[in-house]
Structure 1
């Protein structure tokens, strides 16, 4: 009964996909002016978090 070695990698990859989806959905909806109350700083934060989690996911696949 050992843990799957790819569980951590799967977790970071799924979190990365969720953040990319949230970022794209927010960006598109704001572009269509459906959610104009969200400032552009929120989109930047989501984008930077997506990039950081993507880098962590890649590092975990290759090194950890």
Structure 2
């Protein structure tokens, strides 16, 4: 797999996780998705941060 395609996949995964996490957080705040536990929201947001860091590291440091 080429470096640019891996970076594109990581960037898309970052955006998707961050978007879903923020959407669920906002909908839960409005009282629409009250059944979603807070831990799930934290996992989505922390997963997005981790994938963002991996994407940055892959783009700048890992040259394979």
For the criterion TM > 0.5, the same-fold answer is yes
Aligned to 1:40: 38
Alignment TM-score, normalising by the size of structure 1: 0.89
Aligned to 2:52: 54
What stretches of structure 1 move > 3 A for 4+ residues in a row? none
Q: Supply the distance in 1 between the matched residues of 2:3 and 2:43 (Cα, whole angstroms).
A: 30
Any unmatched runs of 5+ in structure 2?
Answer: none
Alignment TM-score, normalising by the size of structure 2: 0.89
Size of the alignment, in residue pairs? Answer: 62
Q: Supply the distance in 2 between the matched residues of 1:44 and 1:15 (Cα, whole angstroms).
A: 16
Aligned to 1:17: 15
Q: Is the alpha carbon distance of 1:54 and 1:32 closer, same or farther for their aligned partners in structure 2, counting shifts above 3 Å?
A: same
Q: Supply the distance in 2 between the matched residues of 1:52 and 1:18 (Cα, whole angstroms).
A: 13
Deviations along 1:6-33, whole A, 9 cap, x unmatched? 1111110000000010101000000100
